[in-house]
Amino acid sequence: LGAGGIGVWRGKVTQLGPSRISASIVNGRGQASVRVVSAGFAGKGGPATLDATYSIAAGSRITRVDATITGAVPDMIAGLIRHPGVELVSGRTDHWAFAGTWGNQSLAKDDLGMVLFYRHDRAEVQVGDTDISIHFCNPKALHYAFAAAWSQEAGGLRTRQAFEAWAMQVIAQFERTDHEVKPAMTCSMDH
């Protein structure tokens, strides 16, 4: 699933699979969004459709994802690749959590951090040998964020500790600004 992509749990982490894809881009003042519709991928007993919007603010590392799935809704996930030799990172607040990796995983063969941000009362994390995935309690509505921080970027995070501290700041901010009032869900997923 690369760096924050949406997929399907089919007894293992998988991509959506064949579908009809359409996309539209909206560049607004200080923010860009891409809406991607993937229609007809293999769902649970029939075809399903994913309608996902990816949004990023100017100057931000963080991409927010809001998606709905209709049709024969399968077990939906989002994930990150887990390269050999990277360190795992994680943290949580009252409602938000992050899970990711830090280490030599950039094309320049230097340090890069990749991370998923999610509501831990709405999803469960699973760490595999080759991936990290979040499994959504409600597979019809996905809300999460992802980011990557390269050590060579301007103001880059140069250590795992700095990357984790930054990710903790992000979920603390999400905690302050996320005013979702829905009651917590209980996940009981078999992965």
Q: What is the pLDDT of residue 150?
A: 87
Q: What is the pLDDT of residue 108?
A: 79
Q: What is the pLDDT of residue 191?
A: 44
Q: What is the pLDDT of residue 187?
A: 62
- Within 10 angstroms of residue 34's Cβ, the number of other Cβ atoms is 15
Structure pTM?
0.91
Q: What is the pLDDT of residue 180?
A: 60
Q: Which residues pair with 140 in a beta bridge?
A: none
pLDDT less than 50: residues of the chain:
181, 183, 191
Q: What is the pLDDT of residue 185?
A: 55
- 133-161: b or e for each residue (b if 16 or more CB lie within 10 Å)? bbbbbebeebbbbbbbbbbeeeeebeebe
Among 65, 158, 81, smallest CA distance to 117 is for 65
